[in-house]
Each structure stands twice: as C-alpha cells, then as structure tokens.
Amino acid sequence: DIQMTQSPSSVSASVGDRVTITCRASQGISSLLAWYQQKPGKAPKLLIYAASSLQSGVPSRFSGSGSGTDFTLTISSLQPEDFATYHCQQTNSLPFTFGPGTKVDIK
C-alpha cells in the first residue's frame, strides 16, 4: 500500500496569512493526488484533483502543486471559513490512501 504523510499536523494562522501544507507519498503517484477540506461534523469536500486542478466552485485562493511523491496545498490568503482540517489522498492505486490530516486553526 502507498503510505501518505502530511506536514505539519497542525498550523495556527491568522486571517490573511499564506498557509502551505505538504503531502508526501511513499512511492511515485504521478499527479494522482487530491486535497479535501473537512469541517467539524461535516463530510470532506473536494478542493483539488490531479494535484493542481481546482474543483468547480472552489475559491481561487486555493492551489495545489507537485508530482511524483511531493505535493503542496497553498491557501494564498486565509479566510475565516478556511479554518478546517485538510486531507490529501492518492488515487494512483488501491487502496486509495489518505494522509493523516492537517488542522488549520486560529492563531
């Protein structure tokens, strides 16, 4: 199975800050990497697919990059509604494993 790691596990930031989260795969996954946002008590929401493609309806302050084993999610200017947990997922091969999540909270 492909193992996914994320760093940091949590980050404290202020509104307007630029936030970057990294995700690493234990083996190459091409660009088959997705990012999800999850708020407490809610289902995950797809933000980014194919490493860098913005899902319809997602604000342009979210962006993704990377390929192979190393990926990043960037929030260019953090908004109040962005405080949440972010998960990466590889869809290169089954099982479609997730990273452990990164919690973004208010500084």
Partner 1 sequence: EVQLVESGGGLVQPGGSLRLSCAASGFTFDTYAMSWVRQAPGKGLEWVSAISGRGANTYYADSVKGRFTISRDNSKNTLYLQVSSLRAEDTAVYYCAKERTTMLREPFDPWGQGTLVTVSS
Among 19, 34, 73, 75, which residue sits at the site for partner 1 (rule: CB under 8 A)? Answer: 34
Helix (H, G, I), strand (E, B) or coil at 80: helix
Helix (H, G, I), strand (E, B) or coil at 102: strand
First-to-last alpha carbon distance for the chain, in angstroms, is 36
Spatial distance between the Cα atoms of 37 and 39, rounded to a whole number of angstroms: 7
Among 43, 60, 80, 81, which residue sits at the site for partner 1 (rule: CB under 8 A)? Answer: 43
Closer CB to partner 1, 26 or 77, in the complex: 26
Contact positions with partner 1 (CB under 8 A) in 53-72? 55
Among 25, 95, 105, 106, which residue sits at the site for partner 1 (rule: CB under 8 A)? Answer: 95
